[in-house]
Structure 1
Amino acid sequence: MKPHLIQPSATDTPSVQIQLLGRAPYSSRDPVRMHSLGIALQRQQGVHAIASDRRVDFDTWPGTLSHTPAGIEVFSESATGGEYLVLRYAPHEADAPGPSRRVSRTGQRAALQIALHLRRLLLCDRPDALAIEQSALRLLECSKSGPHIADAHPDAGYGRVLDRIAAEFDRPLRIADLSAMVDTSPLRFLREFTRRTGMTPHAWITETRLQAARAMLQSADLPLVQIALECGFNHQSHMGQAFRKHLGLTPGRYRQPKSPSLTP
């Protein structure tokens, strides 16, 4: 998706660039000439190298908020990619100094909700520039609250839960079964899953089904009812409700040839 630019005036250089990156394989190197704030909307695995040539594996979950200062070169490569929202911006002189290295925080539920709302605004047929600017500023504010830590390694047990959801999202899933995978009670599982991912299990499964349906709408000429059932929705109208709620579009409108504002 082409970047959305926020400009202080019609003649000024854009102060914020917002880009929604779709799920696709990639290999890129970004010298980060502006400050960058990125948040994962979808799980993404691959290798990256940050401010060095040493490549390490990464497993980024939704709700992981990462801030990269200008001048920190980042190489990243993934065989599948994952939907990702990134803001590039020049800091205002009145802002407090930010961190001098790349830092991340996982399980950022408030930031994730803002980012998902931004996605909806960006995919709209007629994007509301003021609403986008306001949401972008709210997301930037999230990056300034709470302690910053180095990239954390996700919990292997909950990683297996995510693997199961990715493999079985088209089937009924129960919290009791998922909690048994990490040997804990359903109530504690609900609390821990939400803390670690920024989403409830139900929200994660719905988002996984939504992502799968979006991919099928773009790549397969199948009836909507078939796509709905293959992606785990109860029926076509159930899928339609999810699209309207989370993307602001019907499945049929999403499937139509994309204008620049609809390119994922």
Structure 2
Amino acid sequence: MTQYLEFDFNIEPVEPWSEILMAELIELGFDSFTEKNNGILAYIQSDLFNEEALKIKSLLNHQEVKVSYTFKKMPNINWNEEWEKNFQPINVENKVLIRAEFHQPQGFEEEIIIQPKMSFGTGHHATTYLMIQQMLDMDFKGKKVLDMGCGTSVLAIYAGKKGASDILGIDIDEWAVENSRENAERNNISMRVELGTADQLDTTLYDIILANINRNILISDIPRYVKVLKPGGQLLLSGLCFFDEEDILQVCEGQKLRLHKKLQREEWISLLLSK
């Protein structure tokens, strides 16, 4: 059974810095968070933890906020059962419901059923919400779609429900590939899922590319996305905090992408661009 570490971060002041710290921790491999009055609890697999990398993160050395932490090993218990006790359905604009199999249907226009194989679940939902919110008004009928960093494949599945004809999900984690295939089957969506990164993209062109990842990966991979995006195609990005916007748009402008729509939820943003 996977050994996890629990980090207890005290943050002063808590707002808006707790969300910013979570964004930085995600880049280091932390996969779930719980808010508390004076900070957050954060969780990471022990074999992924790099204390030196944590110590140099910008927020731990920022003049406007004070961050301290302690950590401990977590007991080896069934975290999937713990996830089931705490996971709440995600309601996007009263139109799309993201729920687990053990939740009852609620009569939404679309319901996406997932069962993550992660030890702690999805961590935060704001970026998933933003991506689905953007997708509500997008045309997927007959489109060829690429979901980069697909995770549980919520986005790819929703694209399929909106009529996408050809869907590929790619993720760097083996659990995500297996989980995506199972979730696609749960939702009666036909899609392919591959293990890998943007480096393996070939000459196949896509109408729509979805990428809910993080700032550093997006900055590195946006040029690769543009190469496989059809003229007039759409690129939808999230996994970004509000302070990432300038850097991301600078890369996008360098690739001659045009910004069409920006949405923000809490400290997180999503950007819809076209080629």
Normalised TM-score (structure 2): 0.26
The structure whose RCO (Cα within 8 Å, separation 6+) is larger is 1
Higher helix proportion: 1
Higher strand proportion: 2
Normalised TM-score (structure 1): 0.27
